[in-house]
Amino acid sequence: MLARVNRLALRLLGGETSAWPYALIRVGLATLVLLRTHVVDLLPMDHHAWVPGWLEYHPSRDRSAAPALHSPLGFFPALSPTLTAALTWARTGLAALLLVGVRPRVVAGLLALVGYSLMAADRYRYLHHLHLLWTSVALLALCPADGRLALRSPRRELVARWPRQLLRLHALAAWGYAGLAKLNGPWLRGETLRDLHGAGLVDGPMVDAAAAALGWSGLAWGVALVELGLPVVLAIPRTRLIGVALAVLFHLGIETSVMVSTFGATMLVLTVSFLPFGSSAWDSPETEGDFTPRLENGPRADDGPMEDPTRSAD
């Protein structure tokens, strides 16, 4: 039994993979944080502001309202204006350092801590897309940093695979739980979507065309099935590219129909972890059953001891 558990763990988490997914996800998440922490409303993403007092507010709507910097978490201290200003500037500085790859693991951990702390300090801004963003940044603290897309030169072609699997699981859980949350009567009957459309929160040519063709109930079922199906399709190596294409189309459709801030962009960045970058046999569907670690340019671990070339044939 223990051997089977070890073999399963080795299959899921062992081996090496390309360093490129980690670099691309790092750049993508750092860019999203910088976009959210900019005072100029460059994109409709509910940006933060750099200055104290506007941690999670849209500049054009809530600029005059100060957030309630008293967390409902009893153990969490209230932030003073000075500390708030320092943390908001630190958040932006850390995101810039992460973007260029300066000590990315340490910086990612600090950025996640600062960003999540600022969110937790504001009792009115516990937002799901920010929770997703900061937990994604936190996972970067576990990812290898070999210098790609950074200020220093790359060191290794292959790096540890298990952090990539954690990023994948992180994304699969977000889709899966989003789908499970929709398995209720009001959503499946289309009432939720119809009410959101009536309130102007869900709109656009794509959703109008889909509702006309499928009805609100059919569209609601379609959304739930896609979110429940993505974890399955992406978890199977042979259907992974189909899942990536479906995820991209799905989130592009959402972005054109409903305001979800950084949620869609964060999920698309995490989707990079499923792309077939040049990697070891562990990520190849053709060798999915071969779980024996290989040395780079060397023998399999179970091939037995290497022959000493200095020994004679005798």
Cα 146 to Cα 153: distance, rounded to the nearest angstrom: 8
The pLDDT score that the predictor gives to residue 134 is 95
Distance CA 279, CA 144 (A): 14
Please tell me the least confidently modeled range out of 48-52, 121-125, 191-195. Answer: 48-52
Q: Which of 52-56, 60-64, 89-93, 215-219 has the highest mean pLDDT?
A: 215-219
pLDDT over 50 at 313, yes or no: no
Q: Which of these ranges, 190-199, 241-250, 269-278, 303-312, has the smallest mean pLDDT?
A: 303-312
Distance CA 193, CA 30 (A): 32
Which residues, 6 or more positions from 28, have their beta carbon under 8 angstroms from its beta carbon?
Answer: 265, 268, 269, 272
pLDDT interval class at 289 (50, 70, 90): very low
Element of type H or E holding 166: helix 162-181
Phi, psi of 258 (to 5 degrees): -150, 145
Q: What is the pLDDT of residues 100-112, one digit of tens each?
A: 999 999 999 999 9
pLDDT confidence tier of residue 65, bands split at 50, 70 and 90: very low
Please give the pLDDT value at position 103. 93
Residue 312 has pLDDT above 50, yes or no: no
pLDDT of residue 51: 35
Range 11-16 average pLDDT: 85
pLDDT at 302 over 50: no
Identity of the highest mean pLDDT range in 1-10, 257-266, 292-301: 257-266
Share of the chain above pLDDT 70, in %: 75
Residue 157 clears pLDDT 60, i.e. is over it: yes
Which of 22-26, 75-79, 84-88, 159-163 is the least confident region? 75-79
| Distance (Å, whole) CA 265 – CA 247 | 11
pLDDT for position 290: 34
End-to-end distance of the chain based on CA atoms, in angstroms? 43
Span 224-236, average pLDDT: 96
pLDDT band of residue 62 (cuts 50, 70, 90) is very low
Read off the pLDDT band of 256 (50, 70, 90): confident
Mean pLDDT, to the nearest integer, of 260-278?
A: 89
DSSP 5-60: HHHHHHHHH-SEEESHHHHHHHHHHHHHHHHHT-SS--SSS----SSTT-SS--HH
What's the pLDDT at 124? Answer: 64
The pTM of this model reads 0.79
Q: Could you tell me the sign of the dihedral formed by the alpha carbons of 295, 297, 298, 300, in that order?
A: positive
Position 25 pLDDT exceeds 90: yes
Q: Residue 291: helix, strand or coil by DSSP?
A: coil
Predicted local confidence at residue 34, as pLDDT: 86
> What is the phi/psi pair of residue 298, to 5°?
-140, -175
CB 18, CB 278: distance < 8 Å: yes
